[in-house]
């Protein structure tokens, strides 16, 4: 286990207590290709940690009740996650900070932000599909962010691929050596239980009605399992021995160095194998440790308080219409009411309204420690990517904005509600839900929205109508590519009918091109123009599955 670095805080808790609290934290994201079962797994983890008493996923997405992490009406209606949700709970002697991420590729920018705020990732793989497009993109991001990855092969209760073939695919395509901690007894679709490879015991699972309550498990000695499971047990033990011969046993140092990925087999909808996932997180996932700052240095966990905003969300409390800045605590002790400094402006502000999050539900947070996620309510100055600190100044690396590939001009459907329209668009821009582009020609009446994927426009329409009471009309624009430019180049580009130059809310000028051919011709005819690729370089947008 990586040991937290030390430092001397100037305020707050003594160093020993602070480091001890940091060591208790396990902060991770659940990530996957769409429809691999992320939200179902999230609820199953909460169920086995006794954080909830009944899981919402009763019979899959078609019949599930409202889940903890999918709280938006659109999420519950469609059975997909379109926004990240933070959930804190205790398990054994640890404090778990779990962030459920959007699975759909259209919301990959939100997923990238979450991965900047966690210390490890649980990658969910559908047993019948293996490594899909978005799965590979996410593996790449975790590698670039140096995040250890625990892989969970989900839906083993359904027909699927061969277990050894899945291990070969992980090894070949990700470059990580899979080191299974458990191994399935029975092929996909005939899930009898797993071998705990550290003890060679058989863990047999007992089904519960619809998977709504925690599944019971029994540890069965080797000789008893051999007698009861017959040929399935023989096959499983032979395959497990083969993995050992190939050096595919867990090694903590190699895992933390991102050379290996521990693998577990599960059926989240039935709560099979979920307890083992929780135990693996507590036993092997890294605790909160020093984080790299914008200058390339490291902020030790025992330094004075610091944190950064990785998400802003409004509409979580329909009664008060407030919004919440999600802050990852990077160092020091957070204390409700403390005065912190906003790194971007140098201005101080009080943290009077601070809350721990449990999906949509909240409770007052009097204190928090490195690794925790705190919701600061109505901290209107904070934007995604902002840093805050106490005493010792620090600024963490900014979060990149992705290159939009879809564009729509929007107007208020009711001209009498322009004030609500403007407020709603500005708020969604502030949250990072959408990129807002404007020009003198279009004016504030008809801004252009830029999105990574078209489903983002659906979220905008839903929230503008229900959160801000300002229904919108939209018009698709014939642009496919955006490039960063400057004012000198914009003057030349402004004469081209198939190019439009707009300003993003962060002050960046974007040149929008109708086709790749149009872009190539422009570059050929005007090589002196500034036209920079906007690619974030980490999590590229991918087509929806």
Lowest mean pLDDT among 56-60, 278-282, 285-289, 535-539: 56-60
Distance of alpha carbon 139 from alpha carbon 130, whole angstroms: 13
pLDDT tens-digit series, residues 191-212: 999 999 999 899 998 776 656 6
| Residue 187 confidence (pLDDT) above 70 | yes
Q: Are 130 and 123 in contact (CB under 8 A)?
A: no
Percent of the chain residues topping a pLDDT of 90: 61
Annotated binding site: 100-104
**Contacts of residue 32, Cβ cutoff 8 Å, sequence gap at least 6:** 38, 103, 123, 124, 125, 126, 134, 135, 138
C-alpha to C-alpha distances, 326 to 118, 334, 401, nearest whole angstrom: 12, 13, 18
pLDDT at 24: 97
Lowest mean pLDDT of 37-41, 251-255, 299-303, name the range: 37-41
- pLDDT higher than 50, residue 148: yes
CATH architecture of 292-389: 3-Layer(aba) Sandwich (3.40)
Evaluate if residue 399 carries a pLDDT over 90: no
> What is the arithmetic mean of pLDDT over 228-253?
96
* Closest-CA residue to 113 (of 467, 463, 504, 400): 400
Task: Quote the crossing angle between the two packed helices 163-174 and 133-144, to the nearest 10°.
Answer: 50
Beta strands, E only, 378-480 = 387-389, 406-412, 435-438, 448-451, 472-476
Q: State the average pLDDT over residues 477-486.
A: 95
Burial (CB count within 10 angstroms: exposed 0-12, middle 13-18, buried 19+), residue 414: middle
Q: Output the pLDDT for position 317.
A: 57
pLDDT score of 501 = 96
Calpha distance 335→364 (Å, rounded): 11
Q: Does the structure show a pLDDT above 50 at 526?
A: yes
Cα(18)–Cα(303) distance, integer angstroms: 9
How much is the pLDDT for 4?
37
Q: How far apart are CA 180 and CA 151, in angstroms?
A: 9
Encode pLDDT of 22-54 as tens digits: 999 999 999 898 888 888 898 889 888 888 766
* Site of tokens 């519950």: 76
Contact 331, 303 (CB under 8 A): yes
Q: Which of 103, 83, 94 is nearest to 51 (CA)?
A: 94
Tokens of 352: 């009077």
pLDDT score of 319 more than 90: no
Which one is the CATH code of 406-533: 3.40.50.2300, 3.90.550.10, 3.30.70.3280, 3.90.870.20? Answer: 3.30.70.3280
Per-residue pLDDT, 467: 87
What CATH number does domain 29-286 carry, 3.40.1350.10, 3.40.50.300, 3.40.50.1400, 3.90.1150.10? 3.40.50.300
43 vs 438, higher pLDDT:
438
Structure token digits, residue 522: 């422009």
Whether the per-residue pLDDT at 324 is higher than 90: the answer is no
Among residues 369, 279, 274, 219, which one has the least CA distance to residue 92?
Answer: 279
CB 63 within 8 A of CB 78: no
Average confidence (pLDDT) over 348-353: 90
Please list the residue range(s) of the chain that carry CATH number 3.30.70.3280. 406-533
What pLDDT shows up at residue 210?
Answer: 58
Residues 373/116, Cβ–Cβ less than 8 Å = no
pLDDT on residue 208: 67
Task: Report the alpha-carbon angle 111-64-118, nearest 5.
Answer: 20
- Give the count of beta carbons closer than 10 Å to the beta carbon of residue 209: 7
- The mean per-residue pLDDT over the stretch 450-479 comes to 93
Annotated binding site for GTP: 100-104
Looking at residue 206, what is its pLDDT?
75
Task: Please compute the mean of the pLDDT values over residues 239-262 and round it to a whole number.
Answer: 97
The number of residues making up the chain comes to 545
Specify the residue for token string 């458990």. Answer: 182
Residue 443 has pLDDT above 60, yes or no: yes
Does position 77 have pLDDT exceeding 70, yes or no? no
Taking the C-alpha atoms of residue 261 and residue 275, their distance in angstroms, rounded to an integer, is 18
A 10 A CB-CB count for 19 gives 22
Q: Where in the sequence of the chain do the CATH 3.40.50.300 domains occur?
A: 29-286, 292-389
- What pLDDT does 215 receive? 67
The CA distances from residue 146 to 57, 257, 363, 381, 424, in Å, are 32, 8, 32, 30, 36
What DSSP state is assigned to residue 20?
H
The per-residue pLDDT for range 88-147, each reduced to its tens digit, is 999 999 999 998 887 666 667 888 889 999 999 999 999 999 999 888 988 988 998 899
What angle is formed at CA 534 by the lines to CA 528 and CA 536, rounded to 5 degrees?
145
The mean predicted confidence, pLDDT, of the chain is 86
Residue 532 has pLDDT above 50, yes or no: yes
Q: How far apart are CA 541 and CA 545, in angstroms?
A: 12
């Amino acid at each position: 286990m990586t040991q937290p670095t030390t430092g001397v805080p100037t305020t707050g808790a003594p160093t020993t207590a602070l480091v001890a609290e940091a060591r208790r934290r396990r902060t991770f994201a659940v990530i996957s290709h769409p429809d691999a079962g992320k939200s179902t797994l999230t609820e199953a983890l909460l169920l086995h940690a006794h954080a909830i008493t009944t899981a919402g996923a009763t019979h899959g997405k078609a019949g599930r009740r409202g889940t903890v992490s999918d709280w938006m009406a659109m999420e519950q209606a469609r059975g997909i996650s379109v926004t990240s949700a933070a959930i804190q709970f205790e398990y054994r002697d640890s404090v778990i900070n779990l962030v459920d991420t959007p699975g759909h590729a259209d919301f990959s920018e939100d997923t990238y932000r979450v991965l900047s705020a966690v210390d490890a990732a649980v990658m969910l793989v559908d047993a019948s599909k293996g490594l899909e497009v978005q799965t590979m993109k996410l593996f790449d991001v975790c590698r670039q962010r140096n995040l250890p990855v625990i892989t969970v092969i989900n839906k083993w209760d359904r027909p699927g691929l061969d277990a050894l073939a899945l291990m070969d695919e992980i090894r070949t395509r990700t470059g990580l050596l899979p080191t299974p901690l458990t191994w399935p007894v029975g092929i996909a679709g005939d899930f009898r239980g797993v071998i705990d490879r550290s003890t060679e015991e058989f863990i047999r699972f007992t089904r519960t009605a619809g998977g709504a309550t925690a599944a019971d498990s029994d540890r069965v000695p080797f000789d008893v399992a051999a007698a009861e499971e017959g040929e399935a047990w023989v096959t499983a033990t032979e395959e497990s021995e083969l993995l050992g011969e190939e050096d595919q046993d867990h090694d903590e140092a190699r895992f933390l160095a991102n050379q290996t990925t521990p693998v577990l087999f599960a059926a989240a909808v039935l709560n099979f194998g979920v307890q083992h996932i929780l135990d693996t997180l507590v036993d092997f996932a890294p605790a909160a440790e020093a984080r790299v700052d914008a200058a390339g240095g490291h902020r030790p966990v025992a330094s004075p308080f610091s944190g950064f905003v990785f998400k802003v969300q409004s509409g979580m409390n329909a009664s008060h219409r407030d919004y919440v800045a999600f802050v990852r605590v990077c160092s020091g002790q957070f204390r409700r009411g403390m005065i912190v400094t906003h790194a971007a402006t140098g201005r101080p502000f009080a943290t009077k309204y601070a809350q721990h999050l449990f999906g949509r539900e909240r409770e007052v947070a009097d204190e928090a420690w490195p690794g925790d996620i705190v919701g600061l309510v109505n901290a209107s100055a904070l934007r995604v990517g902002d840093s805050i600190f106490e005493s010792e100044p620090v600024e963490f690396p900014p979060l990149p904005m992705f290159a939009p590939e879809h564009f729509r001009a929007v107007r208020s459907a009711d001209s009498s509600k322009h004030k609500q329209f403007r407020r709603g668009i500005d708020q969604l821009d502030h949250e990072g839900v959408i990129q807002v582009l404007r020009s003198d020609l279009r004016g504030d009446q008809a801004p252009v929205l830029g999105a990574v994927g078209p489903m983002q426009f659906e979220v905008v329409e839903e929230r503008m109508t229900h959160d801000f009471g300002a229904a919108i009309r939209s018009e698709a624009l014939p642009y496919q590519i955006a490039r960063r430019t400057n004012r000198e180049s914009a003057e030349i580009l402004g004469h081209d009918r198939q190019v439009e130059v707009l300003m993003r809310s962060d002050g960046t000028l974007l040149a929008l091109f109708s086709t790749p051919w149009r872009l190539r011709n422009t570059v050929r005819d005007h090589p002196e123009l500034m036209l920079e690729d906007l690619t974030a370089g980490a999590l590229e947008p991918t087509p929806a599955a």
